[in-house]
Amino acid sequence: AQERYASIREKPALTLCGKTIRLDMNAGLMADLPSLENSGAEGVGLFRTELQFLVRNQMPRRTELAALYARVLDAAKGKRVVFRTLDIGSDKVLPYMTPQDEPNPALGWRAIRVGLDKPGVMRMQLQALLRAANGRSLTIMFPFIAQYDEYTQARAEVDKAIAREIKLGHAIPESLEIGAMLETPSLAFACKKFYEEVDFLSIGGNDLKQFFFAADRENERVRRRYDTLNVSYLTFLENIVDRCASTNTRVSFCGEDAGRPVEALCMAAIGLHSLSMRPASIGPVKHLLRRCNLDDVRNVIHTARDAGEQSVRPAVMEYLRGLS
Ligand code: PEP
Ligand code: MG
């Protein structure tokens, strides 16, 4: 499949209306790194650090993690890598941690909630990231931030880690960005101050969609029930994008839907100009974006919405059939 899109690999995802959409790749294992070269990704928009923890049978050490993260940054050769701190709990259980008996794991003690309540592992991970960067630029993202103070507390951990590194005489990053994943509807309505303070937001559509429709992403019976191009959901995403525009907040989307060409096109049309996806999706998404006019697609979406359609998919498919 990569071969098929080789001719556009080095080309930008430039639409017919002249917008360039940034396409990054999602990664998590060392085996993903070669894709940075051959997929045409601009960088790594989501590095799922928990995968390194999940493939082991004991807690990795700080030095080991620092070496791994340094290899990731070396392979990226200056391209931006967004390291997401440990996102465990819910569907991702570490074999060497006490399992939690929770009635609703997806709504339970997971991700940043674990990181803030038991900060030992997160501190070790932050230190490993700072050591790996060793003076280079560093981008850190916290998963599952549901309210403002979770972000401020997580950010304070980074400040503490940096202070410790300075005290030890180690290099600190030449530039540092600290972002949050928007995965719960609550964060869409957080105060303006949060939007101004956060360095960037990345919409985790896999989780956001399951909470928006109250439909478990792990449950085969319901997970495909609600269309991503459902008007309620698209309008919700559009509102987030508009808020970000009004506060000048950098925003991207990194859920699986970013790698589905028609979904990606609609997200770009409502103003999401930065998408992160599995490497194999970059070619197909770019191919479609380069054939489309986002202003036209946005009109199609709004017309379908105003006409009372439940999903804009039929209208968008109709538009796509009309492309030469
Ligand atoms: C998401 O929720 O969309 C996301 C990217 O995170 P994960 O799939 O790892 O939960
Ligand atoms: Mg998630």
pLDDT digits (tens, 9 = 90+) for 252-265: 999 999 999 999 99
State the average pLDDT for the chain: 96
Find the 36 Cα to ligand 2 centroid distance in Å.
22
Measured CA to CA, the distance from residue 129 to residue 229 in angstroms comes to 37
* Predicted confidence band of residue 100 (pLDDT cuts 50, 70, 90): confident
Q: Which two tokens stand for residue 209?
A: 């969609």
| Packed helices 205-212 and 231-247: angle between N→C axes, nearest 10 degrees | 120
Q: What is the mean pLDDT of residues 228-237?
A: 98
Find the 212 Cα to ligand 1 centroid distance in Å.
14
Instruction: Give pLDDT, residue 249.
Output: 98
- Using a 6 Å cutoff on CB, does residue 66 contact ligand 1? no
Q: Is the ipTM of this complex over 0.85?
A: yes
The span from the first CA to the last CA of the chain, in angstroms, equals 22
DSSP labels, 126-188? HHHHHHHHTTS-EEEEEEEE-SHHHHHHHHHHHHHHHHHHHHTT----SSEEEEEEE-SHHHH
* Predicted confidence band of residue 2 (pLDDT cuts 50, 70, 90): low
The residue whose C-alpha atom lies closest to atom 9 belonging to ligand 1 is 48
The residue whose C-alpha atom lies closest to atom 6 belonging to ligand 1 is 204
- Using a 6 Å cutoff on CB, does residue 204 contact ligand 1? yes
Instruction: Give pLDDT, residue 27.
Output: 98
- Using a 6 Å cutoff on CB, does residue 257 contact ligand 1? no
Find the 255 Cα to ligand 1 centroid distance in Å.
6
- Using a 6 Å cutoff on CB, does residue 207 contact ligand 1? yes
Find the 183 Cα to ligand 2 centroid distance in Å.
6
The residue whose C-alpha atom lies closest to atom 7 belonging to ligand 1 is 206
- Using a 6 Å cutoff on CB, does residue 92 contact ligand 1? no
With a CB cutoff of 8 Å and minimum separation 6, the contacts of 307 are none
Other C-beta atoms lying within 10 Å of the C-beta of residue 160 = 14
Instruction: Give pLDDT, residue 1.
Output: 56
* Largest Cα–Cα separation, the chain: 63
Instruction: Give pLDDT, residue 92.
Output: 84
With a CB cutoff of 8 Å and minimum separation 6, the contacts of 36 are 25, 27, 43, 44, 75, 76, 79
Instruction: Give pLDDT, residue 95.
Output: 86
Of all residues in the chain, the percent with pLDDT exceeding 70 is 99
Residues 108-161 pLDDT 10s: 999 999 999 999 999 999 999 999 999 999 999 999 999 999 999 999 999 999
